[in-house]
Amino acid sequence: MKRSFLLYFIITITGLLLIARLFQLQVIRGADHNPVQNAAVKVEYTYPERGYIYDRNGILLVANQLSYDVMIVPKEVTVLDTLEFCSLLKIDKKAFKKRFQRAKNYASWLPSVFLKQLAKDDFAFLQEKLHKFKGFYIQKRSIRNYPIASAANVLGYISEVNELQTRNNNKYQQGELIGKRGIEKQYDSVLRGIKGKKYLHRDRLNKIIGSYKDGIYDTLAINGQDITLTIDSKLQQYGELLMQGKRGAIIAIEPKSGEILALISAPTYNPNRMVGRQRAGNSVQLFGDVHNKPMFDRGLQATYSPGSPFKIINALIGLQEGVIDEKIHFSCYKGFKYGGRKNEFMGCHCGTFGTAVRLQTAIVKSCNTYFSNTYIKIINNYSNPTKGMDAWNTHVKSFGLGNFLGYDLPSGRKGLIPNGKYYDDRNRYRWGPTTNISNAIGQGEILTTPIQLANVTAAIANKGFFYTPHILKKTNGKLVNNPNFTIPKQTTIDSKHFTPIIEAMHRVFKKGGTGQWSQVKGIEIAGKTGTVENFTKINGVRIQQKDHSILIAFAPKDNPKIAIAVFVENGGYGSSIAAPIASLLIEKHLNKKVLRKSEEKRMINLSLKSIYDQQIQQPLETAH
């Protein structure tokens, strides 16, 4: 019996162990349920109203409207009159079967969205007859409504949280709406509020018996908070109007606070198109438009070479480094030869042939020769080009370039400001400032986004510091105080150097300057035009396109109230399109109305469609 004794013994011991564990689980632990874990309790959610969004002057930009989703719990659906149901919902039988199967695949005992955002009239009809169709119920939700069709890129939109998120995460239910872009995304937690929970008792047949434990676990929905943006809606709409038929961006900032007054990306779209049942179709169309890219916020995400406005920064660095002053002069002979070889010649159209060009003239006439020399001097001010480049890099970055600015919107680009290591890694042989001389005039490797340039403009307007651009002004009527945005950031340039620069920028808008035709009576504007070379790769070949037209400006010169950057893709000279648009916006903002009606009309009607169409004929692959 000895050998089987072991077996009996083992069986008995393990049997007892298992029973002991059973005892522990069932008798000792027993019934300590979490109400939601208990399968006999169902949770019903009430969704609060999403917060409204206003512009800085209290104009309503985003409101809510009610929407009704038809929800289904497949397990609870009994035999029904599909014909009647389909006609009430305005879908066909095939669609019904498909949606039913999809809901079953998700989970047959959990609710999922059967039909989204029922039309208001359909809702009334269905509501009457809904009791006939077991397993279906209507979930009320609020979706957005945009009284003013503007600022779509800033506001963003909301759409359903995706299935994967709902399955793995108890925070969201199927069909819930969350912000996907723009402000809706950035401040989603502020806008959405907190959903309310009602716990209901069900019997085995899933009929609701009543409130679970008299509702002690129930919670009320808490409405989302309203937010006020720094955007000036009238300015925003005006800018969007001026940018029709063109592609590009306009950013306007209030220099003394960093508040973003307007953030325009063109082409844009009517935000109401991304609401409700039509959103899916519109979304496909808008995202699929790879040429116009209306969903791409050019103000935040497009990286361009900054062009001539960047010369201002080089000038400031030169002054700070002490390698130039107001008196030093260079002579420009339609350009500047910076090296021994034939192609090492920087062309220039400043028109000062042979005469002495000093700082202010250089800015007003946008002389490449002057700035090339300045740049070389800056870099050579150090023991080797790498160190010089790094020093230059530090100066430039202090203006907020080459990195994320830190504003409160969910998209952006760092841009590119090269440093010593950048060129060390890319040059086999010794290199110097003449290797990358294009940096002097804002071309070359430098990449910036329009909002970065607008911020630089604000820094110049303030004579040496800036506030991080931001777009949230108030929450629930109370001003927001975020130290990220209220503490100024200093540039590395002493404020005394800004004075001559600003003088020169002012002269740009006087007779003889590149912005002379965009003067506004009664307003002292200071700015700099830019004509940016750009290329696209077509069939592997780098082809030059029409230059981008850009301008940075601020006004009034003393005590500036607005700093603005305008980019118009393929618009030609800075003075052609960017300058007039910028000056119109400045006039609008400071005077509240525009008197130069013919200029206004000209800009509105000017369309670059023919140029853009030409680009479409080839596959798109921009060099940036």
Partner 1 sequence: MRTERNNIFQNIDWLLILLYILLVGFGWMNIYTTTLTEESTGFFDLSTRSGKQLLWISLSIPLIILILFFNSKFYERFSSILYLISLASLIGVFVLGKNINGAMSWYSFGGMSLQPSEFAKAFTALAVAKFLSDRQYNLNLIKNQIKVFIIIFLPALLITLQPDPGSALIYLAFFFVLNSEGLALNYIILGVITIVLFILTLLFAPSTITLISFVIITLFVYFFAKKDSTYLRFHWYKPLSIYLVVGLFIFSTSYIYNNVFYQHHRDRFDILLGKSTDTKKIGYNTNQSIQAISSGGFSGKGFLQGDRTQGKFVPEQDTDYIFSAVGEEWGFLGSATVIVIFMLLLYRIIYLAEKHTNKFGRIYGYGVASILFFHIVINIGMVMQLLPTVGIPLPFFSYGGSSLWGFTLLLFIFIRLDAHKSYDW
Tokens describing residue 271: 């935000």
3-state secondary structure of 585: helix
For partner 1, which stretch binds (CB under 8 A), given 32-40, 251-259, 271-279, 462-470?
A: 32-40
| By the rule CB under 8 A, 543 interacts with partner 1 | no
Question: By C-beta, is 112 or 518 nearer to partner 1?
Answer: 112
Question: By C-beta, is 40 or 194 nearer to partner 1?
Answer: 40
* Minimum CB–partner distance for residue 170 and partner 1 (Å): 9
Q: How far is CA 602 from CA 253, 261, 265, 448, 586, in A?
A: 25, 24, 20, 29, 17
User: What is the CB neighbour count within 10 angstroms for residue 400?
Assistant: 26
For partner 1, which stretch binds (CB under 8 A), given 4-12, 177-185, 286-294, 299-307?
A: 4-12
Question: By C-beta, is 22 or 95 nearer to partner 1?
Answer: 22
Residues in contact with partner 1, counted by CB under 8 A, come to a total of 37
Show the binding pattern over residues 97-136: x = contacts partner 1 (CB under 8 A), - = does not: -----------xx---------------------------
Q: Measuring CA to CA, which residue among 591, 395, 609 is closest to residue 493?
A: 395
Q: Measuring CA to CA, which residue among 433, 181, 158, 178 is closest to residue 314?
A: 433
* Minimum CB–partner distance for residue 44 and partner 1 (Å): 16
- What are the two backbone dihedrals, phi and then psi, of residue 544, each rounded to the nearest 5 degrees? -75, 135
- Answer positive or negative: Cα dihedral of 266, 267, 270, 271: negative
Burial class of residue 521, CB neighbours in 10 A (0-12, 13-18, 19+): exposed
| By the rule CB under 8 A, 23 interacts with partner 1 | yes
| By the rule CB under 8 A, 44 interacts with partner 1 | no
* Minimum CB–partner distance for residue 138 and partner 1 (Å): 22
The CA R_g of the chain, rounded to the nearest whole Å, is 32
Q: Measuring CA to CA, which residue among 519, 526, 530, 467 is closest to residue 498?
A: 526
Q: Is 168 left (phi over 0), alpha (psi -120 to 50) or beta?
A: alpha
Question: By C-beta, is 75 or 602 nearer to partner 1?
Answer: 75
| By the rule CB under 8 A, 22 interacts with partner 1 | yes
Cα(603)–Cα(598) distance, rounded to whole angstroms?
9
For partner 1, which stretch binds (CB under 8 A), given 29-37, 94-102, 251-259, 596-604?
A: 29-37
* Minimum CB–partner distance for residue 234 and partner 1 (Å): 50
For partner 1, which stretch binds (CB under 8 A), given 8-16, 264-272, 404-412, 522-530?
A: 8-16
Find the binder of partner 1 among 29, 542, 593, 597 (CB under 8 A). Answer: 29
Q: Please list every residue from 181 through 210 that binds partner 1, using CB under 8 A.
A: 204-205
- Which residue carries 């009602």 as its tokens? 198
Q: Are 560 and 554 in contact (CB under 8 A)?
A: yes
What's the DSSP call for residue 24?
I
Tokens describing residue 440: 């002097």
| By the rule CB under 8 A, 93 interacts with partner 1 | no
| Helices and strands: H and E segment counts in the chain | 22, 25
| By the rule CB under 8 A, 610 interacts with partner 1 | no
For partner 1, which stretch binds (CB under 8 A), given 33-41, 43-51, 318-326, 591-599?
A: 33-41
- Strand 227-229 versus strand 53-54 pairing type: parallel
Question: By C-beta, is 7 or 479 nearer to partner 1?
Answer: 7
Question: By C-beta, is 8 or 535 nearer to partner 1?
Answer: 8
| By the rule CB under 8 A, 38 interacts with partner 1 | yes
3-state secondary structure of 171: coil
* Minimum CB–partner distance for residue 89 and partner 1 (Å): 23
Question: By C-beta, is 169 or 539 nearer to partner 1?
Answer: 169
In the complex, the residues that contact partner 1 under the rule CB under 8 A are 1, 3-4, 6-8, 10-12, 14-15, 17-19, 21-23, 25-27, 29-33, 37-40, 75-76, 78, 108-109, 168, 204-205
